[in-house]
Amino acid sequence: MKKHKVNLLLSAKADISEARKWYCHFNNELPIRFKEEVRQIIETLKLRPNADAIRYKNVRFAQLNRFPTPFIIL
């Protein structure tokens, strides 16, 4: 199966970084688990780029399963 390229908005990258820092306040393991889940979502999007719903124009939305942070992909 062909892998597609996933482009993250700069604002999405900043949100991911901010969320990792926020999770550090609660537990040293949480930012690691958060980063891994984000990585898994990105890999899924590379394999199945059309799996998630279009919210507006060409923007698709993929929700993390264990963390309440939305993740927006172009």
**pLDDT tens profile 27-64:** 899 999 999 999 998 898 889 888 877 887 877 777 78
Residues 59-74 have a mean pLDDT of 66
**pLDDT tens profile 41-51:** 889 888 988 88
Helix intervals (H) in the chain: 10-24, 30-47
Evaluate if residue 74 carries a pLDDT over 50: no
Closest by CA to 65, choosing from 29, 31, 41, is: 41
Q: Whole-model pTM?
A: 0.75
55, two tokens: 């919210």
